[in-house]
Chains A and B, each alone.
Chain A
Amino acid sequence: MKKVLSLVLALTMVFAFTLTFTGCGGSEEEGNSDSAMKAGFICLHDENSTYDKNFIDAANAACEELGVEAIIKTNVPEGQECYEAAAELVDAGCGIVFADSFGHEDYMIQAAKDFPDVQFCHSTGTKAHTEGLDNYHNAFASIYQGRYLAGIAAGMKLNEMIEKGDITADQAKIGYVGAFTYAEVVSGYTSFFLGARSVCESATMEVTFTGSWYDETLEKEGANKLINDGCVLLSQHADSMGAPTACENAGVPDVSYNGSTVESCPETFIVSSRIDWVPYYEYCIQAVQNGETIDADWTGDLKTGSVVLTEINENVAAEGTAEAIEEATEGLKDGSIQVFDTSAFTVTVDKEKKINLNATVDADGHVTEYNADVDTDPEYKGDTNVIEDGAFMESKFRSAPYFDLQIDGITLLDTKF
């Protein structure tokens, strides 16, 4: 018995070693033949997250279009692992490295300092315009415009429900599952709400926060809480399928984010807005190829094709939604519609609760001046007045959103995050 065993073992080992060595020999040859440009991508999660899938799809599309090899690292946490991933991508020959999550920023800056010959582009970050590094760049898109358009679809749906007699005008309450009380989220739900209210005047909104960008259970629970609270239509700014699934189960219409969820939610999905990163990726990669400089802070919009809506789900959407959205799109493009038109919303300054302290409002509650925290610092000091020509100029002074006003009509159920 033992003899047989040792024989088998010896044979297996010899076999394994031979194969391993022949295998290694092959790889060295392959390693020497790299001449084309490579682009590296760092993603917080993998394609199971709608947020990361949106980036991964864009990375593949842009690289295919430009004939560049894409190296994509998924499930990279927002810590030292991000720096390590960036450094490894540089080692692998990438001339440009992209990262997709807010918490990657400091580690990307660190990598940019250590590898001055490589370009580092970080989506959703805030520090590039003050950091002063030639090879570190931020990007975002004016997604509040997309949210506003999606909000119009929501408002039309509310109007339809009121007309049908399913709800009264007072019951037109929207629910919103947010991640953190961070400007990006605040800007998102406020523009969505303003879009909805532009067609359905009686609309109100409740917002709950999960304290996580990706937590399917919490997002589902949050959505269920809002539905039980009497919300008749939901939207979300969190990256899992939690809220859409909860809506489908409860039969509540949902305006999604980051991409269509119509396959999983055919009965409730209305429309979704998302950022299309392909224009930015192509712009950056081409800049590296041509030896041009990349903007430190780049904002895509409807015109660059960075802000897009998915196809409308006609089964759920109200009649005339497509036409209304199209009309508003033109208005946003030519500037006749401003999402954060200060006459469209009112604000209450509450010194006791420290709400909206940076805002100056007139007698009617309309904002006349707002000191936003554009240059990131630990004290969150306002440094720039962002009200111009009667509108809050989002994404003008920095690509990442800085709209963090709490406007009247929106109730925050919890603000601990």
Chain B
Amino acid sequence: MKENKVRKEPLIKLSRREDIDRKHSWTYRALAIVAALILDAIIIMVTVHMNPLDIYETMFMGAFGTSRKVWITLKDLSLLLLISIALTPAYKMKFWNLGGEGQVLMGAWATAFCMLYLGDKLPHGVLLLVMFLAAIVVGAIWAMIPAVFKAKWGTNETLFTLMMNYVAIQLIAYFVIKWEVPKGSGHVGIINQSTQAGWLPYIGTNSYALIVILVAIVTVGMYVYLKYSKHGYEISVVGESQRTATYVGISVDKVIIRTLFLSGAICGFAGWLMVSGSGHTITTSIAGGMGFTGIMVSWLAQFNVIVMILCSLLIVFMGHGASEIATSFGLNEAFGDILTGIIIFFIIGVEFFIHYKVHTRKSGKEVA
């Protein structure tokens, strides 16, 4: 008996698909979203006894209901996209940079520092430039510290970059106490509210348009950099195999440090936009966890810059939707997060079925 069993094929067998065409993979993805929406609908009906379509519609209105909401969505989308883009070259190189949050925070810190200490000393244009340079340099340094350790001494970058986040958070916590107004309140408040020194200029009356434009430029730049430049090619070679890279004469250490410099600089740039363009303050939570969400966006899009726009949009949209249903229906925001979680779970799950065939024992046929 036993021997018979052993000889039998396993109940479920996986094999890697080599022949995925675009049309089919997108069909599966669309199907996954529909399935997730149906499951969400069932959860809505069973738990809160509401019409799921009302909830979906409210979520949609929460993100796109008014032109102001559209701009807020666009701004949030841009910032998340920018951080995802910043992290991507490192991931493509298989360098596990979990330190995006800290790099953004340090960029934000450098920006706030310049606004506070140079706000009344420099003309506005010069101040913006100094803030910008300070933010990208500080962000880049924060990313390069683990990169140099990795390149020179082979330290584990996962832990190192992660720990650098906490160092950044504690540093900022210290400076918030140092800069707080009034004393003991734990708040820096809006910096230069009366003079607007160091604030990113509005386009007309729109305070977010410039952020969206700047991020669009960086997005295109990163797309070209990764796809058509020599650096981009070197990054993918190092990512595929460091030995191959060494064999063809690529200096792996140099590529690691250079790429992390770029990653950190863009994260710093994001920090600059957050402080100078949007919040005009500094807190330990100003990056809002986007340094981590960006990791998900980057991987979900499989490092494709264009797909990242869609992924960021989805995540920002769901976030705004969740808070809108909290406001409109008095449902706790956590409920919206549950709905979002299910959709993201399905989207990540379907990637598995796109890349692997599942064979069952009886039929040997694939199951979608």
Q: Give residues in A with beta carbon < 8 Å to B.
A: 1, 5-6, 8-9, 12-13, 16, 19-20, 23-24, 27, 46-48, 71-75, 77-80, 84, 87-88, 91, 102-103, 105-107, 109-110, 126, 179-183, 185-186, 211-213, 373, 376-378, 380, 404, 416-417
Contacts and interface: CB of A to CB of B under 8 A. Distances in A.
B27 A110 contact: no
A79 B368 contact: no
A182 B184 contact: yes
Interface stretch (B187-195, B214-222, B225-233, B303-311): B187-195
A107 B72 CA distance: 15
Contacts of B182: 126, 182-183, 373, 376, 380
Nearest to A212: B186
Contacts of A211: 173, 186
Given A1-B368, A73-B323, A74-B327, A24 B187 contact: no
A77 B57 CA distance: 25
B177 A417 contact: yes
A73 B283 contact: no
B184 A106 contact: no
A107 B190 contact: yes
B181 A80 contact: no
B27 A79 contact: no
B186 A75 contact: no
B280 interface: yes
Given A1-B366, A373-B182, 12 more contacts: A1-B368, A5-B31, A20-B56, A23-B53, A27-B61, A72-B330, A77-B285, A91-B68, A181-B183, A182-B183, A377-B181, A380-B183
B285 A12 contact: no
Contacts of B187: 78, 102-103
A404 B193 contact: no
A187 to B, nearest CB: 11
Given A75-B326, A417-B186, A378 B285 contact: no
6 contacts: A6-B27, A20-B56, A23-B54, A75-B333, A80-B280, A182-B185
Contacts of A19: 53
Contact of A404 (B184, B323, B330): B184
Contacts of A48: 332
Interface of B: 27, 30-31, 34, 37, 53-54, 56-57, 61, 66, 68-69, 72, 173, 177, 181-187, 189-190, 193, 278-281, 283, 285-286, 288, 323, 326-327, 330, 332-333, 365-366, 368
B352 to A, nearest CB: 17
A20 B34 CA distance: 13
A73 B328 CA distance: 9
Interface pairs A-B: 5 shortest CB-CB: A182-B184, A106-B190, A181-B184, A80-B279, A103-B187
A105 B327 contact: no
Contact of A9 (B27, B190, B285): B27
Nearest to B53: A23
Contacts of B68: 84, 87-88, 91
Contacts of A12: 34
Name the residue among B57, B182, B183 with the largest chain A CB count within 10 angstroms.
B182
A86 B106 CA distance: 28
B181 A376 contact: yes
B34 A378 contact: no
Nearest to B322: A75
Nearest to A45: B333
A88 B30 CA distance: 32
Nearest to A373: B182
A72 B327 contact: yes
A46 B326 CA distance: 10
A9 B31 contact: yes
Contacts of B34: 9, 12-13, 16
A110 B56 CA distance: 32
Contacts of A105: 189
Contact of A183 (B31, B184, B279, B286): B184
Name the residue among B66, B183, B193, B333 with the largest chain A CB count within 10 angstroms.
B183
A27 B66 contact: no
A85 B222 CA distance: 33
Contacts of B184: 180-183, 185-186, 404, 417
Contacts of A186: 184
A311 to B, nearest CB: 27
Nearest to B332: A46
Name the residue among B57, B186, B365 with the largest chain A CB count within 10 angstroms.
B186
A103 B222 CA distance: 37
B222 to A, nearest CB: 25
Contacts of A72: 327, 330
Name the residue among A1, A20, A23, A73 with the largest chain B CB count within 10 angstroms.
A23
Given A88-B68, A376-B182, A103 B278 contact: no
Nearest to A41: B327
Contacts of B193: 106, 109-110
A185 B185 CA distance: 10
A5 B333 CA distance: 35
A377 B182 CA distance: 7
B20 to A, nearest CB: 13
Contacts of A109: 190, 193
Given A72-B327, A110-B190, A404-B184, A16 B69 contact: no
B273 to A, nearest CB: 11
A1 B360 CA distance: 15
Contact of B368 (A5, A75, A180): A5
Contacts of A20: 53, 56-57
A12 B365 CA distance: 25
B281 A106 contact: yes
